[in-house]
């Protein structure tokens, strides 16, 4: 009887020890994946991400460009007083061209947009321009009548000037309409404009106001003589080289709004 007890005890101890050892073995460290497998997985993910970026770009780019063309069309019609149609012209080497020669570098030429009324009479040119403002580059387009030497209208296309101050160049109607019919060269004044060459600047946004005026004056100094020399021109036949599709007043709408204002300090 006493001999049986130790045997049972020994057996229980051995069994328990063996089970514990089994459990310990089952809960060991997991097997680590090889470095080559990790590299392969990362490479595959990179390829998938790259393809996705290319596909998104291919889908979005045509839509972005179409939106930009529509913004430009509306702005041209706004600054020219909703012409019946307009055509793209190019200024290159001091000459006004209906179109660029085949293979010519467009970066070496300046585009302008000739607007015509229903009778084919030239009403003016829409001229784009840009310059650094208080915080970032200001882009705009303005209409110009070379025969009268007057600005027909102005539209800011892009601005990141100070919110509430410089950003008013895109929303202050008194400032914007101050360019309607003003004679070039333009002078910005802080008091009410009394001269045909003067425009009232925005209080608190002197730098941004001056930038707009400077862009117009600089562009007219560069291209004004070429446009004045060309004089009044009749419209080319629809479908001729360099001609855009006819534009009607009914198709016109409000011009594009400027890009969202950036952050930063105020102006004086």
For residue range 76-96, what is the model confidence (pLDDT) as tens digits?
Answer: 999 999 999 999 999 999 999
pLDDT at 193 over 60: yes
Poorest-pLDDT segment among 32-46, 53-67, 208-222: 32-46
Q: What is the pLDDT of residue 268?
A: 55
More confident residue, 165 or 258: 165
Span 123-132, average pLDDT: 96
pLDDT, the chain, mean: 80
Q: Which residues of 8-29 are buried (b: 16+ CB within 10 A; e: fewer)?
A: eeeeeeeeeeeeeeeeeeeeee
For residue range 130-174, what is the model confidence (pLDDT) as tens digits?
Answer: 999 888 899 999 999 999 999 999 999 998 877 777 889 999 999
Span 36-42, average pLDDT: 86
- Share of residues in the chain with pLDDT > 70 (%): 75
Q: What is the pTM of this model?
A: 0.69
E-strand spans in the chain? 85-92, 95-97, 110-116, 122-132, 137-145, 150-158, 187-189, 198-200
Span 175-188, average pLDDT: 96
Burial class of residue 149, CB neighbours in 10 A (0-12, 13-18, 19+): middle
Q: What is the pLDDT of residue 266?
A: 55
């Amino acid at each position: 009887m006493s001999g049986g007890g130790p045997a049972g005890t020994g057996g229980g101890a051995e069994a328990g020890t063996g089970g514990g050892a089994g459990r310990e073995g089952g809960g060991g460290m997991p097997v680590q994946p090889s470095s080559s497998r990790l590299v392969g997985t990362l490479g595959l993910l990179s390829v998938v991400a790259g393809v996705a970026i290319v596909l998104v770009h291919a889908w979005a780019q045509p839509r972005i460009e179409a939106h930009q063309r529509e913004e430009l069309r509306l702005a041209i019609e706004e600054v020219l007083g909703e012409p019946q149609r307009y055509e793209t012209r190019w200024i290159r080497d001091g000459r006004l061209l209906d179109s660029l020669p085949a293979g010519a570098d467009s970066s070496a030429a300046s585009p302008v947009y000739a607007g015509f009324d229903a009778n084919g009479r030239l009403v003016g040119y829409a001229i784009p321009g840009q310059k650094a403002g208080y915080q970032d580059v200001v882009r705009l387009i303005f209409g110009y009548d070379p025969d009268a030497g007057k600005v027909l209208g102005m539209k800011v296309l892009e601005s990141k000037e100070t919110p509430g101050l410089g950003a008013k160049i895109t929303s202050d109607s008194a400032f914007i309409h101050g360019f309607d019919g003003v004679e070039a060269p333009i002078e910005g004044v802080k008091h009410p404009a009394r001269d045909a060459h003067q425009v009232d600047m925005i209080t608190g946004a002197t730098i941004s106001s001056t930038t707009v005026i400077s862009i117009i004056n600089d562009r007219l100094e560069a291209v004004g003589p070429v446009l004045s020399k060309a004089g009044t021109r009749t419209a080319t036949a629809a479908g001729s080289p360099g001609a855009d599709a006819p534009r009607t007043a009914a198709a016109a709408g409000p011009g594009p709004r400027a890009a969202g204002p950036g952050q930063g300090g105020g102006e004086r």
